[in-house]
Structure 1
């Protein structure tokens, strides 16, 4: 991981995408595609930094959208556009019909309502394999009572003429063995329908770019499935894996207060700029910091909103933090920028790309006008 805290050309706060690391991930995904025969598309819900589309476009087959607005953004990549949402309004379908190549419905009623409105789109159904792999309940689409996907029992006796594919998404930052188990669960419940399909979309959650992920096993798993069902176009749509470990959020200490220990107030907010810290919750990695007690000085890192719980965690440092010090939160590209808000009117982090030659492109800085435009 690159230490960017000493670069004076990076404003604070700022998300910094490191181009070299993004290309590294994309090269690995190209290897998976070339070796397995599966195709990979970018899930915009996890990473929708459109200023990086020119980097991504040569490697992936397109993008997948969870809404009309995401579909419009995906279309700007100039490649395939896939779509899925829990429910569509008629006005959504009217806009999507000229934007998307594939569209998956969450229910039979939605498909039956809109199938005749999409004559030029390859249509699919999202299935629920009733097989759980996600460790965090908030992100488990296959949990009992889930609103996402159609169970096999609901397809019995239904004429699926016009359905080209199934879409299954039940993983969340999982390994290749979870993919293998999921494919077995799909076969166990939905095998009778697979011969009549053209494609199978395995959704996201395939964290193939994480250190220690068994890429060879993933390739072997996908090849074995393709050998058994050679007529199926197998599609993966990761979001996290594309942008995994590709860049940090740079923040700055604004003040240090004391209440049962030092508390550093930063120029970022957990709730506004890294909400998964509070929602999952999880503890982000901070460069040059350790767990409480690992180093000489413990300090609580807090955000600058008025939310009492806008606290990241307690970290330890070699030296006490002082106003003006930079703090680098690692791995902040995926499922972070896409979830930010303008809560409290807190300054929104800029967005930059650190190019492979070492130059920095600040592609977006936010202003009061951006904050005002979100309101009325």
Structure 2
């Protein structure tokens, strides 16, 4: 992990990567001294910090200026453009990069079902490449090399722009029907184990964001089970899976939705509010159902809690990008804000959060059919609605 003030060869590599992306000036070799090149030790200075934050913002990462695993992977992925290298599916070490992402988007424009673009050359991308090769009379080997690249670039896409997965996602949503029974939902309480999240000392002891998100997850799980939904929680109280492991669980159980619960914190006691995130990039690739669910959750929770509306945003965070189903991440207030902390510590407020999230999920599947006003649909009314749908 690198941050401002660090120095050494790793910083030199970081600066070189940022320079290749146009975020830092190109490095000029140091002048020779006694026949040898002088290498001044590179430093993670203010200029590097600003470039890292700009890159993180471009990629939808937390713009904290810290080069951790997620930022390092994103820098590695950003090196590649489509056609730079041969791409193929390898089970042991899956290839990833911006070139894979571009390939997935391009194939989707030709009508191939690549799923959500995630920049990973997995089995679905392999199948699409093979189908494309077969359709174009090329050897069907799944290897995206020079010949396949030439064929891809010379063709005119069937569809460009917009949201290639809108019709497929929306069709699946409509086909699933308005009932909650049988829907498979993954609930992801953030942090856990050695990662407590934001921590605040109070008169009653230490308050950890990880404990609160887990508590809200269990309340939400209980309500969902009562409606007949199948639920899966990504961690226990002492566990902290990686984002990739949490996404893998959701994919393995073939979930319909993933809902990730977070509680934020800030060095500023003024930071406050509620925000919801869904998968999406600045280039227009978006999980449409994820965006709809995020908007429903945001409206429902703001109406019920009166927390500051920090709105809905798209991000390419790993948990949102690597899940095959619509996924959202909810920031349920700031533990560092004294008023919000006091509310988050109350059982009735955490029940309100769980009720609001469940009702938003129900609204997603109602898709505008007999939909009560935001903030007015109670848990008991929701259960009664489920019974009436079952009896119809």
TM-score, normalized by the shorter chain, greater than 0.5:
no
Tell me which protein shows more helix as a share of its residues.
2
TM-score normalized by the length of structure 2: 0.19
Question: Larger Cα Rg: Structure 1 or Structure 2?
Answer: 2
Structure with greater proportional strand content = 1
TM-score, normalising length: structure 1: 0.20
